[in-house]
Amino acid sequence: MNRTINLIELGFKDYKEVWDFQSELLQEIVTIKTENRKNQLQKNTQNHFLFVEHPHVYTLGKSGDLSNLLLNEQQLAAKGATFYKINRGGDITYHGPGQIVGYPILDLENFFTDIHKYLRLLEETIILTIAEYGLKGERSEGETGVWLDVGTPFARKICAMGIRSSRWVTMHGFALNVNVDLGYFDNIIPCGIRGKAVTSMEVELGRKVDMEAVKKKVLKHFMALFGVEKYLVSPNIH
């Protein structure tokens, strides 16, 4: 079992380009697994962790309702935003500058074959990360992601999550609001949940937050929770 991950820092990159890249990485892993089974081989599969920031984009999951996007094509263009219907779970969400997006492309057979556990550990990664800044992240029953003040009228989401898996290989992941412009969330019903607010680390702390420092903490907690032995820094895509 390979418990090393390839860390790929993508910088600021278009959503569709990164979606295609994720799909390629997933397919490479699935192909090796298929060949291993077919030919009784034991070739190691790779695990990847992508960090990226996207230009303004709204994405709708496969179970999502388009009516949760409150903009038409002209309004999207006026805001400099794009829209994609994609193959992850969950409803609608927003990605944009000031948000840390993480896409773990893992062969869960290298770790554990339990999607529920995978999601809970992703949430725990973010809960432990924001705890280092004095923020008490929580889970909200029946709602994936990380929230603050669950069970109160002030409940607000700080990190959205949505994944896809194929043959125990994951793609998509989490979006942690760090210094993001929360005004863009006004154009959607986030995750299809009416009356639920969103927030960011900047809003909660009253100051801009160093995104590189947050990423280091995310990686540290992710590695500890998943039992990752080491990470290798891989080159960016062109």
**Average pLDDT of span 132-161:** 95
Apex 118 CA angle, 117 and 119, nearest 5? 90
Strands, E assignment, the chain: 4-12, 48-53, 57-60, 82-85, 92-95, 99-105, 138-140, 143-148, 156-166, 169-177, 197-198, 230-234
Question: What pLDDT is recorded for position 28?
Answer: 97
In tens, the pLDDT along 161-204 reads 999 999 999 999 999 999 999 999 999 886 666 767 999 999 99
Which pLDDT value is given to residue 237? 62
Answer for the pair 53, 12: CB distance below 8 angstroms, yes or no. Answer: yes
The model's pTM is: 0.94
pLDDT in tens, 86-123: 888 778 889 999 999 999 999 999 999 999 999 999 99
Distance CA 175, CA 72 (A): 24
CA angle centred on 147, ends 143 and 150, rounded to 5°? 85
CATH fold group of domain 4-234: BirA Bifunctional Protein; domain 2 (3.30.930)
Burial pattern 7-29, b for ≥16 Cβ within 10 A else e, equals bbebeebebeebbebbeebbeeb
* Active-site residue, from 121, 171, 178, 191: 191
User: So what's the pLDDT on residue 13?
Assistant: 97
Specify whether the CB–CB gap between 157 and 147 falls below 8 A.
yes
pLDDT for residue 143 = 86
Q: For the chain, what are the domain ranges? A: 4-234
For residue range 10-23, list pLDDT tens digits in order: 999 999 999 999 99
pLDDT grade, residue 76 (50/70/90)? very high
pLDDT recorded at residue 142: 87
Lowest pLDDT segment from 60-69, 106-115, 134-143, 229-238: 229-238
State the pLDDT at residue 235.
Answer: 76
Tokens (6 digits) for 31: 């192909």
Is the pLDDT at 55 greater than 60? The verdict is yes
Question: Is 159 an annotated catalytic residue?
Answer: no
